[in-house]
Structure 1
């Protein structure tokens, strides 16, 4: 740590306590065996360069860590960056180049910190039992228990060369280091870092390998936003815990999923749902509390869960939504053009955050002095009603205890946040098109799991048999029917997409049915250009193609939400929607990945590579191994 220093200013130490606000009790009835809001919110230490570029590698080590997830639990064995869960917050200035040696310091033969079980089987659509604590008598998966420490770190959001990006196959073992350089030539933003090891990302991330990374710039500084002890990371992650022979929580991490069928007829393997845990942690604590002043605060929120999509609402003691106090000022890739008010209409939260999405939030506590307010996860039902179908057994997230200081906060919310931001005009940006289809679970050839299909437009539909496996016809808004052929479906299929550095592309993701997929593209920030509804009756999973075109639904309009009008690198793609995103692949070369950020889906095949190279070099491509430039239309 010769060139990166650890900041000493922290709000609360892990395991520490802070004084409650006047009139607020810290005790309550147990929920799931634990009393909510018992522990103070821990805040990770900050690592920042002393000055200038950091051209000598600074080691950040993956190592075992014993973590108190809750005061009523014994310590839990986890893996952390620098022995902390979450890892330290890394903070840099725009253009400040740093080099990090992500070193594996987990000794050989160490116990893998995650117990994995599958319960069921249950029928498709039936209530899933995986949200209850404990293993339900199921024996742990010995193959997961035998996993070695094999890790690779991806700085999610970073614009850096493919060799620094954390390629999933390039994970390292004990004593080895992954050397990565980050130019940080990016507008102010919140990125985050996490493990990305091939096949086992879901368990390594679940073991604790996450942390947040902040880029600062002059435009952000000029806004005078809350800072210091009034700017905090909120890293959300759901967890499950094992129980002992007496049914008591023993603190052991439990990755408990539900088997839908005993074995899939194509693979002979079970088909599992993604992981959803009953306990929500914030910065590594289950249902913590935070003492705040009656003033403005800035929270840098990231959903670091394996698969849970949160629908967050701020409520009072009587469980009523608290309106008018939250503004979203930034998304994945930086500041929004203007603040977006976050109000609640009594049924549907507006603060929906999928795995890997970030939200830069301002909260005004000035009118809440002496009160206690809580952030809860409501699913999709009315306030106060947990949604079993959304796997929300315990809605608690965290509690804010507002102190009355008698001081007036002089911060004023700016009307315009980023004067440098420009919306793309589709017709004014020369760009190529890609179509990516997300298939229905159970589609023939998919082994029971949803897949990513890369598609290429067929210029002469008469040259391909319709209908047939891998052929998708799409009727767009203009009524024209376009025919596409599948060019890849698994990670190790031939390379499909090669992109010229500095060029713009629009990627269209069409979800043919099943869950909402948060799609993440490495390297590049995008803008959401539109969300379109499509009828899906024409797709036949048993065929693996369309018998009639999937068609644009003129009767359903889906406006893009105000808080996704900025820079994004994760896009929620619900069933029956085509989500179109436009971006430029600039600033780096190499081989990168894009994937669903439901980690169980990613590990089970919903991930594909793409290559960025100089467009001048693409002219000499020999046509074998590097898919063409701008195939497909996608609308």
Structure 2
């Protein structure tokens, strides 16, 4: 394994150290760019996955990782809309996964601190090595997140390959300018494979974007956000650079998803970026396993300057018009993307920090993500913020003609402990309003009051684990409205493969102090009586109106999202993008097939839902 990064000396006075590391010491690493349609005029490339050693910080020893093309994160692949690209994802990784997996009783050994061993090298009471992690082979399958591609190219979780084999894929790129990303999606071990480095960004360009003349070149920068933990030498307490997957667990055995004390941007812990006093474009991705980032731009006195930021795009591409950055910060859930413009001209000679406002100052986790150092000079900048962006954008609502005839799909997430299951679950629902059970609560039975009609509707759980029977089938070319309901527990970022969607409505039930919806009996796993019509949820903000493939489903929320399943067919996945939840069972398949074929397909579950 070879080092793939060397860090130059700092260019400004360093900040105070944290866990022995000096914040903002190292420059932001910019992933190399691969432009097959521009440089090489190719439509076929090979991306090699290899083991490597990288420095996450210049004060750390090198860290063993798994990479795409020897880079952490992987190269940014940039393509033109409408031009096909074939990629051979070649697995050339040797050895077992370079990760130490540890679990500790909640509250006894904080997961947001480095290290896990006692000074004598032993394990403190209750701390356990997660059995089997150290033995994991390089079994990988790459998913291009947000891509419109046939199912055979989508990175089906069971279709992972071992070292010495390649995954052959074809991406038509028949979609608008957008920010996609690629990452490992292997069944049951996605959280570990992504954690050790298998991520990268993928940009689609089109003429509509070109005509806007947005900041580009050195003034367009990817920002891939993540968090990690590191092991320590038990005798000295010094950080070793070894990646540490350290998670707390509850008395029932459920492990809480990983979050770590070290914030990384483009694979560097607390980096800095020297910027010109002009507009920049940042393609931001939350690639963390589970952490939600609330992005906030602040100066050296801690004052917020979110008014200098404009949001011009989200998961599925450009917004219809620039949107203001929320004054309280922009929340990005795992796998969400944001296309941001920042005007640095008003901060000449100053330093700004991008922070995570969800994290309190002074805790074990630093709120700081990175620092921007603005040059102290006037600079001519010809860029002017456009009033309109995506002229091709059309806003949907429940009365849109596109949705006059569509499928309804219902999915509910339920809290940990439901019917004795330690982890949160994702239930696929089938309507049984005409044949409800005689008594309530009943296991797997949910009754709701329809907000549109006021009528009580009864649903039963028909599947929750990935390998159970497929019950969602959608005709190719057809629109579908997904009803996503969170009956309690944590927030879940729900990702639906194959298409892009718009958020139509956000409603909310009242929740108790444990964030659970009263009326849902956790012990039984069913509602005691029909849930009332949910109240109005938080208003849909301007930056939430764009096309998206990930939606934050908060406790008590009922979201409706609409998308058209056109341009690709086959068996796809949808899941919670907290990777620990995904691996622990919160993932389900669905099928998109031609309607002419569907009439001959005999399958359980009642088919398409409601037409």
Taking structure 1 as the reference length, the TM-score comes to 0.90
The aligned counterpart of 2:68 is 81
Counterpart in the other structure of 1:65: 52
In the alignment, is the contact (CA less than 8 A) between 1:470 and 1:544 conserved in 2? yes
Q: 2:244 aligns with which of 254, 259, 268?
A: 254
Higher mean Cα deviation, 252-261 or 543-552?
543-552
Offset of residue 553 of structure 1:
3.3
Instruction: Provide the residue aligned with 2:226 in structure 1.
Output: 237
1:15 maps to 6
Aligned to 2:213: 224
Report the Cα distance in structure 1 between the residues aligned to 2:560 and 2:109, rounded to whole angstroms. Answer: 33
Please say if 1:148 is aligned against 2:131. no
CA RMSD in angstroms comes to: 1.9
What residue is the counterpart of 1:570 in the other structure? 550
Q: Pick from 384, 388, 400 the counterpart of residue 372 of structure 2.
A: 400
| From 547, 563, 578, the counterpart of 2:528 | 547
Out of 69, 83, 107, the position equivalent to 1:96 is 83
Which residue does 1:475 correspond to in 2?
449
Partner Cα separation in structure 1 for residue 108 and residue 311 of structure 2: 34
In structure 2, the residue matched to 1:281 is 264
Which of residues 186, 211, 218 is equivalent to 1:197?
Answer: 186
Query: In structure 1, what is the Cα distance between the partners aligned to 2:344 and 2:485?
Result: 41
The answer (yes or no) to whether the contact 1:52–1:96 under 8 Å persists in 2 is no
Q: Structure 2: how far apart are the matches of 1:60 and 1:54?
A: 16
Alignment partner of 1:386 is 2:361: yes
Counterpart contact for 2:440–2:529, Cα < 8 Å: no
Among candidates 171, 182, 185, match of residue 182 of structure 1: 171
2: distance between equivalents of 1:77 and 1:619? Answer: 52
Equivalent residue number for residue 30 of structure 2: 43
Corresponding residue SS for 1:588: coil
**Cα 1:19–1:66 shift into 2, 3 Å:** closer
The 1-side partners of 2:597 and 2:96 are apart by 47
The residue number in structure 1 matching 2:293 is 310
Residues 1:53 and 1:228: Cα distance change in structure 2 (over 3 Å) = closer
1:52 Cα deviation (Å)?
10
Q: Does the 8 Å contact 2:37/2:43 carry over to 1?
A: no
Show the counterpart of 2:407. Answer: 432
Q: Is the 8 A contact 1:19 1:291 kept in 2?
A: no
* Greater mean deviation of Cα atoms: 422-431 or 506-515: 422-431
Contact 1:435/1:632, CA 8 A, preserved across alignment = no
User: Match for residue 351 of structure 2?
Assistant: 372
Q: What's the offset of the Cα at 1:557?
A: 3.9
1:137-162 per-position Cα deviation (integer Å, ceiling 9, x unaligned): 44533410011110000000000010
Aligned 1:343-382 pairs, distance under 5 A:
343-344=326-327, 349-379=328-358
The aligned counterpart of 1:291 is 274
Alpha-carbon separation, structure 2, partners of 1:278 and 1:632: 46
Return closer, same or farther for 1:532/1:284 CA change in 2, 3 Å cut-off: same
The reply to whether residue 171 of structure 1 matches residue 160 of structure 2 is yes
SS in 1 for 2:418: coil
Greater Cα offset, 491-500 or 597-606: 491-500
C-alpha separation between the residues in 2 aligned to 1:432 and 1:350?
35
Task: Quote the residue 2:466 is aligned against.
Answer: 491
Change in Cα spacing, 1:277 to 1:479, as seen in structure 2 (3 Å) is same
Shift of 1:480: 1.6
Deviations 1:381-427 (A, max 9, x none): xxxx4396xxx621110000000332221100001111100011322
Q: CA deviation at 1:128?
A: 7.2
Task: Supply the distance in 2 between the matched residues of 1:387 and 1:333 (Cα, whole angstroms).
Answer: 36
**What TM-score, normalized by structure 2, do the two folds share?**
0.93
The 5 Å alignment of 1:576-591 reads 576-591=556-571
Deviation at 1:309, TM superposition (A): 0.2
- 2:381 is matched with 409
* Alpha-carbon distance in 2 for matches of 1:557, 1:149: 43
Q: Which runs of 5+ in 2 are unaligned?
A: 511-516
Cα gap change, 1:323 to 1:470, in 2 (>3 Å): closer
Change (3 A) 1:539 1:400: same
Q: Runs ≥4 in structure 1, deviation > 4 angstroms?
A: 50-56, 462-465
Q: Secondary structure, in 3 states, of the residue corresponding to 2:386?
A: coil
Q: How many residues align?
A: 589
Structure-2 change in CA distance of 1:462 and 1:304 (3 Å): closer
Deviations 1:474-524 (A, max 9, x none): 013243211111111111111010111110000011001111100000010
Deviations 1:602-630 (A, max 9, x none): 00000000011001111112234xx4443
1:334 CA displacement: 0.1
Q: Aligned equivalents of 2:436 and 2:423: distance in 1?
A: 31
Q: C-alpha separation between the residues in 2 aligned to 1:237 and 1:354?
A: 11
Cα gap change, 1:204 to 1:152, in 2 (>3 Å)? same
Once the two structures are overlaid, the 10-residue window that deviates more, 511-520 or 453-462, is 453-462
For residues 509 and 489 of structure 2, the distance between their equivalents in structure 1, rounded to whole angstroms, comes to 14
1:592 is aligned to 572
CA deviation map 1:342-363 (0-9, x unaligned): 152xxxx231100000000000
Q: Specify which of 395, 398, 423 is matched with residue 449 of structure 1.
A: 423
1:506 aligns with 2:493: no
TM-superposed CA distance for 1:53, in Å, is: 10
Any conservation in 2 of the 1:91–1:216 contact (CA below 8 Å)? yes
**Is the alpha carbon distance of 1:610 and 1:298 closer, same or farther for their aligned partners in structure 2, counting shifts above 3 Å?**
same
